[in-house]
A = this chain, B = another copy of it.
Amino acid sequence: MADRSLIFPAQEYRDRTARLQQEIARAGMDALFLTAPADIFYVTGFLTRFWESPARPWFVVIPRSGDPVAVIPAIGEALMARTWMPQIRTWDAPDPRDDGISLLADVLGDLVAEQGCIGLPMGLETHLRMPLGDYADLCRRLAPRRFADATGVVQHVREVKSAAEIAKIRASCVIAGRAFDAVPQIARRGRGLDVVFRDFQVLLLREGADWVSYVAGGAGPDGYGDVISPAGAQPLQDGDVLMLDTGAVREGYFCDFDRNFAIGAASDLARRTHAALWQATEDVLQALRPGMLACDAHRMLCDGLTRRGATPGAGRLGHGLGVTLTEWPSFTPLDRTELREGMVLTLEPGAATADGRIMVHEENIVLRADGCELLSPRAPHDLPEIL
């Protein structure tokens, strides 16, 4: 679009605000106070890479009823003014004497009565993106108003994606799918893994990513040691399994899936593990329904791997996806979040191969009333070989 400063029509943001306000009321709160980039983008549509600078805090306040208010550094006023946001208050940041706190206290104090409760996300997968000392000061200024955990409010609303959001995530998945299709052109034996990572990012940009917030991967015989290390210069060799994983971003929405490739002919172990990962994913693609729990998806993936002779890896085996690379819920044995229609999720089984090595596999889906709809182009059943 010509102006990226409004990703969706204003009605999309009004709907989100109304859903958040329902949850604010249900939680017995009087306002929701947001500081995290994803939450602020979700409510306002304010899209910028400027978050990379930790210098300035940004705030959005949503009262239980009425219009939300953005309380932001003046440097963001022009961009925020092009979003739907009806009320914008600014200060000159950074200000070591008072970095927006008295302005923010005024806004919150006007919207919330003295006996009121201000919700903010304090729970799993959340961070307060402002100086902790300023938050303590804010609490003092606003007393006797209480601050309480609103993680559930935000999680419950953000977890279920609108049709417009699903279309954006699908677009990011399509971009990454085309980049993965071209990997055999860049991942030849003898090339360093660091060069492959770099070239893969170029492919993602060429295919239409606005930027590439995440690339990870690994390469080794029959699997890789871990999936979060930066790439070294070691050259790809015959017998390696190469895995590339990406969170490419288009218009603020992420994909998050990976693909495996054998360098040269695949070993039996790598081939069997890939097939087990693919089949365990296929089982869940067929069986997952709204009403199941996040821990059910974890169990189904583990059972599917075990049934096919693979050893399930540790850790979570999938998660939510949208305006961040990973979102609630988590597919672990402990997460009892109910899966609902409209959730966008990753299925991410991992299996141990040999010598502390693993292989992982990932797809992105949206959960419909009658089951999973793929957003990522389905990986091939057979581990592709780059000969």
Contacts and interface: CB of A to CB of B under 8 A. Distances in A.
Contacts of A325: 52-53
Interface string A111-152: 000000000111111111111110110000000000001010
A9 interface: no
Interface in A170-209: 194, 197-199, 201-202, 205-206, 208-209
B128 A132 contact: yes
A303 interface: no
Nearest to A208: B198
Nearest to A129: B127
Interface stretch (A62-70, A160-168, A329-337, A361-369): A329-337
A130 B132 CA distance: 11
B213 A52 contact: yes
A293 interface: no
A227 B75 CA distance: 8
A194 B209 CA distance: 10
Interface stretch (A43-51, A258-266, A270-278): A43-51
A316 to B, nearest CB: 7
A206 B199 CA distance: 8
A36 to B, nearest CB: 8
A110 B204 CA distance: 47
A216 B54 contact: no
A97 B123 CA distance: 11
Contact of A216 (B49, B135, B197, B206): B49
B76 A228 contact: yes
Given A53-B325, A74-B314, A96-B334, A48 B210 contact: no
Nearest to A200: B205
Given A2-B232, A202-B202, A314-B74, A53 B326 contact: yes
Given A54-B125, A55-B330, A212 B211 contact: yes
A63 to B, nearest CB: 21
Main secondary structure of the interface of A (DSSP, over half): loop
A212 to B, nearest CB: 7
A286 to B, nearest CB: 27
Most buried by B among A52, A129, A197: A52
A279 interface: no
A50 B215 contact: no
Contact of A127 (B54, B201, B225, B326): B54
Contact of A212 (B74, B208, B212, B226): B212
A231 B324 contact: no
Contacts of A234: 2
Contacts of A49: 213-216, 228, 230
A53 B324 contact: yes
B55 A326 contact: yes
Interface string A296-319: 000000000000000000111001
A4 interface: yes
Given A49-B215, A131-B127, A326 B120 contact: no
Interface of A: 1-5, 36, 38, 47-50, 52-55, 74-76, 78-79, 82, 92, 94-97, 99, 120-133, 135-136, 149, 151, 194, 197-199, 201-202, 205-206, 208-216, 225-234, 247, 314-316, 319, 324-326, 330, 332, 334-335, 356
Given A48-B228, A55-B326, A95-B332, 11 more contacts: A5-B229, A48-B216, A48-B230, A50-B228, A53-B324, A78-B225, A78-B229, A78-B356, A79-B229, A198-B210, A212-B212
